[in-house]
């Protein structure tokens, strides 16, 4: 898993790629918790380069979404790969996440 975080004034952009499963989800979660604890209430997950995501990744996304909603923030997805779209659809949780075609559109929504 590769992860890069850009923290803007209104939103943090987390670019993640590779494989997010039981082996890497704890590291993914740790990065997201760190950025939330730093005071950022809005996050964009740029997931164009994700080539595998298991339910461990989905759990992290759901718990992060809940944590941000509690403080009035949002978690959205930008530019998802076909694997990400497939997994969200198979799990039946695609309706829980706002999805934008690219990160610029996602940033503009905040």
Partner 1 sequence: MLREEGQFSARFEHIEAICDLVERAAVDAGLDDHAQYASQLAVGEACENIICHGYKEIKDGKIYVKVQASPGELTIELEDNAPPFDPSKKVVNHCCVEDLEGGLGLPILHKVMDEIEYSRHGDSNRLILRKYGSSG
Residues that bind partner 1 (CB under 8 A): 19, 21-23, 52, 54-56, 58-59, 62-63, 66, 83, 86-87, 90-93, 96
CB of 106 to partner 1, least distance (A): 21
Q: 3 or 105, CB closer to partner 1? A: 3
Residue 23 or residue 101: which is nearer to partner 1 going by CB?
23
Nearer to partner 1, 62 or 105 (CB): 62
Written as one string, the DSSP assignment of 29-95 is HHHHHHHHHTT--EEEEEEEEEEEE-HHHHHHHHHHHHHHHHTT-EEEEES--HHHHHHHHHHT-GG
Tokens of 104: 């610029």
Instruction: Tell how far CA 102 is from the center of its chain.
Output: 13
Smallest separation, CB 108 to partner 1 (Å) = 27
Q: Which is nearer to partner 1, 7 or 86 (CB)?
A: 86
């Amino acid at each position: 898993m590769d992860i890069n975080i850009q923290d803007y004034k209104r939103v943090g952009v987390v670019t993640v790629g590779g494989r997010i499963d039981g082996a890497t989800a704890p590291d993914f979660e740790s990065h997201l918790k760190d950025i939330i604890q730093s005071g950022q209430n809005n996050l964009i997950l740029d997931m164009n380069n994700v080539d595998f995501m298991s339910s461990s990744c989905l759990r992290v996304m759901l718990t992060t979404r809940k944590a941000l909603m509690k403080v009035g923030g949002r978690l959205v997805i930008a530019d998802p790969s076909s694997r990400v779209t497939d997994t969200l659809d198979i799990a039946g949780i695609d309706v829980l996440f706002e999805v934008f075609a690219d990160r610029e559109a996602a940033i503009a929504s905040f």
